[in-house]
A and B are shown apart, each in its own frame.
Chain A
Amino acid sequence: MNRPQDEFVASRRPAWDELDALLAKKSLLHRLPPASISRAASLYRDICSDLMRARAAGYSVEVIDLLDSLAARACAAMYSAPPYRLAGLRSLVASGFPCSVRRHARFMALATALFLLPGILGFVGALRSRGFAVQVMSESMVEQMEKSYSDLGRGRDEGTDSMMAAFYVYNNVGIAFRCFATGILFGLGSAFFLVYNGLLIGAVAGTVTAAGHGRNLFTFIAGHGAFELTAIVISGAAGLVMGYALVDTGRRSRWASLRAKAGDLFRLIMGAALMLLLAAGIEGYWSPSPIVAPVKWGVAGLLYALVFAYLLLAGRRGKPEGES
């Protein structure tokens, strides 16, 4: 015969309240004094066995619910995720991100093709026919593009620079995140955004070049393009990786296959976002500055070399993070 519920509750209640109080403390469990931590651990084990006993004895729903929620909270506190440290960011930049990029080199190549080929198509098309540009963009946007970039390189006031930098953060990081996230539709969303953005950027470049301001435009985008275009391609590639994980599951369940890639996906998209923040800074302050074109070209070349060297070489020594 089982112990009556009320007697069980009355005898065990102090232990439950003690654990409840330990868990309710503001500071996290691992910051408590050692005695409290080991006390919490032993109380947790006791409560787990209380829960089993209560369930076996068929005690009322309230008791089991109470023990369930207490055990759940204690378990969450015991097995909590590692706290976030700045070292995590450093290792992401130093090795995690470039290693993940290299691990998915094929998807990088595919994403580059999905972005670059429509880009070339858009450029050539818009260069040759204004009607093509109007199809891709809109009449008003084509007109605006033809006018802009005619007087670039005179510099702006600081306020406008900051505003534009903020706009690039809002716009470009948003585009990258959307390009990544829609990859969960078996990669189709990412592929669409890569092709669409490639076509659009190509068509803009073609239109501006046709209007005779091509040199201005390319001087403008050369610097930040190293980071911006690369990051957009990487975020699209991350979306493709995500979509493909749902297709080729490698003897895992569909979602387990995706979760196995979660670490890589996180590193890729965070790396891309950091690159875009850098790009926004360059695009806001450096690209529109009145510095002469040859210097800008030189710096742009340097930045491209830097980005590719970083992605190809960084973190090659040592154990790659999250190898699967």
Chain B
Amino acid sequence: MQLDNTVEVETPEHVRFRFHVAGPTRRAWAYLIDCLVRIGVLIVIEVVMVLATGHQVRWGHAMVSGGTLLSLFLMEWGYFVLFEAGWNGTTPGKRALKLRVVKAGGYPLSFADAVLRNLLRTADFLPVGYLLGLLVMSWDGRFARLGDRAAGTMVVIEDPVRVAPAITLDPPPTAAELEALPVRLSLSSSEREAIELLLRRRDLSPGRRIELAETVVPGLVQGATSRPGDPVRDPIRDPVRFLALVHFAATGGRAQGASGRGGART
């Protein structure tokens, strides 16, 4: 289940940009990882303490119990605060799921924000298993639990910067192919977007690409005479290449001029 959403924030420069806000499922996974990390750290601390105080000392030794209580306290109340404040809104679990806590304006959170949002986990947890927090989240486009609302924070997804693949036409269009294109070439912006979206999708199987392209081609070739056997005049033969050609021609002479740029389009 993926329940993610986007939120638009405006900077002092009046630039608006979007954050992908993380939904409850993703945050629950991060929380689970953080719980495991905390348990792991506690076990390591225990082992080290018992080894350090020597084998002759029994488990119930006062210093060991004291150390256990202190580390329990640190893990219960300090873990999230210290990580989020010192690691710019992330914890190991949040890093694993590419999550980050930021202020509602997109800025990093302060120490006070980290304290407030994490102390209020106690309230979000009520009556059991973050039920109240989940309920409050569902009321809000930013999936803010009580702690987020009090501190004015949100949890966003930080995907690594992705490369937008360039549209390539391989092999490069021949003059004959371009000449043979239908007359109606000024694509509307939504038509152009749809074609680009299809051409950039590398994850589709060839069959699916063709199938999708076939649904668009008839609208584009309406009125154009069809000459059977000609790969251009009979676009059904290779609808994907046909769409790429249409796109190439529709994006204008600039695109043709651009083909001289060290073969960037091939």
Contact = CB atoms under 8 A, between A and B. Distances in A.
B122 A185 contact: no
B192 to A, nearest CB: 8
Interface stretch (B9-17, B38-46, B219-227, B234-242): B9-17
Contact of B62 (A51, A76, A157, A258): A157
Interface in A1-59: 1, 3-7, 9-10, 16, 20, 45, 48, 51-52, 58
Interface residues of B, number: 70
A266 B115 contact: yes
Interface in B96-119: 102-103, 105-113, 115-116, 119
Interface in B59-98: 61-63, 65-70, 72-73, 76-77, 85
Contact of B119 (A10, A177, A263): A177
B230 interface: no
Label chain A's interface by main secondary structure.
helix
Contacts of B77: 173-174, 177
A255 B149 contact: yes
A81 B126 CA distance: 31
A145 interface: no
Contacts, number: 178
B258 interface: yes
B158 A69 contact: yes
A181 B120 contact: yes
Contacts of A177: 77, 119, 122
Contacts of B13: 45, 48
Contact of A76 (B108, B110, B151): B108
B164 A181 contact: no
Contact of B121 (A9, A167, A181): A181
Most buried by B among A45, A69, A263: A69
A269 B119 contact: yes
Contacts of A258: 149-150
Given A62-B162, A65-B162, A76-B102, A266 B15 contact: no
Contact of A69 (B67, B159, B264): B159
A59 to B, nearest CB: 8
A321 to B, nearest CB: 12
Contacts of A135: none
Most buried by B among A58, A163, A242, A263: A163
Nearest to B120: A181
B34 interface: no
A252 interface: no
Nearest to B156: A72
Interface string A142-183: 000000000000000101101111110110011001101110
A266 B68 CA distance: 27
Contact of B19 (A72, A84, A181, A255): A72
Nearest to B63: A159
A270 interface: yes
B174 interface: no
Interface string A64-97: 0111111111011001111010001000000000
A16 B162 CA distance: 12
B167 interface: yes
A182 B159 contact: no
A262 interface: yes
Contacts of A185: 123, 126
B18 interface: yes
Nearest to B197: A60
B110 A1 contact: no
Nearest to B132: A185
A58 B189 contact: yes
B152 interface: yes
B30 interface: no
A162 B167 contact: no
A154 B192 CA distance: 87
Given A62-B164, A72-B17, A84 B119 contact: no
A31 to B, nearest CB: 14
A7 B73 contact: no
Most buried by B among A160, A185, A263, A265: A265
A84 B85 contact: yes
Most buried by A among B15, B72, B158, B167: B15
Given A48-B17, A177-B119, 19 more contacts: A4-B251, A5-B164, A6-B264, A6-B265, A7-B254, A10-B166, A45-B13, A66-B164, A68-B18, A76-B102, A79-B12, A81-B107, A81-B113, A169-B69, A169-B73, A170-B73, A174-B77, A181-B120, A270-B115
14 contacts: A4-B255, A9-B164, A48-B11, A48-B15, A62-B164, A76-B102, A76-B108, A79-B12, A159-B62, A170-B69, A173-B77, A174-B76, A181-B120, A259-B151
10 closest A-B pairs by beta carbon, nearest first, are: A159-B62, A163-B66, A166-B66, A62-B164, A181-B122, A48-B15, A266-B112, A81-B110, A166-B69, A163-B62
Interface of A: 1, 3-7, 9-10, 16, 20, 45, 48, 51-52, 58, 60-63, 65-73, 75-76, 79-82, 84, 88, 157, 159-160, 162-167, 169-170, 173-174, 177-178, 180-182, 184-185, 189, 242, 255, 258-259, 262-263, 265-266, 269-270
